[in-house]
Structure 1
């Protein structure tokens, strides 16, 4: 883990963060970590790029899965 020191935090901002921490029953550090994590989460474009990369790792099936799902749903056989 890395320690990050943030200097010159406005007094009003610090008070709001402390109030939030007190209301959540947690530490100021935890509230700051959550805020940083929310700020640094991937954008939708980055998320879609990652999802496309993961999808490309698996096999591609021709056609739509809708037909397969309907076939399975409409099958009267008790077990296959």
Structure 2
């Protein structure tokens, strides 16, 4: 895993982060990891845009919701 060093944080900010970590029963490192992880998660709008793009890409895969033909083909091949 990589390390990140953040310099020149105010004592007040560090105290608030430590208090937040304690309130969540986490170490300061775990709290900062949680904060940073949440910060880079896609927004709901980004998620829906990615889902729409995936749907567009998957149209060419010729996937159907009805498996009847596949089941019939499998049964007929026996």
In structure 1, the gaps of 5 or more residues are 61-80
More helix by percentage: 2
| Residue of structure 1 in register with 2:17 after alignment | 17
| Residue of structure 2 in register with 1:38 after alignment | 38
Q: How far did 1:50 drift? A: 1.1
| Residue of structure 1 in register with 2:4 after alignment | 4
- Whether 1:48 and 2:52 are equivalent positions in the alignment is no
In structure 2, the gaps of 5 or more residues are 61-78
Equivalenced residue count is 60
- What TM-score, normalized by structure 2, do the two folds share? 0.62
| Residue of structure 1 in register with 2:71 after alignment | none
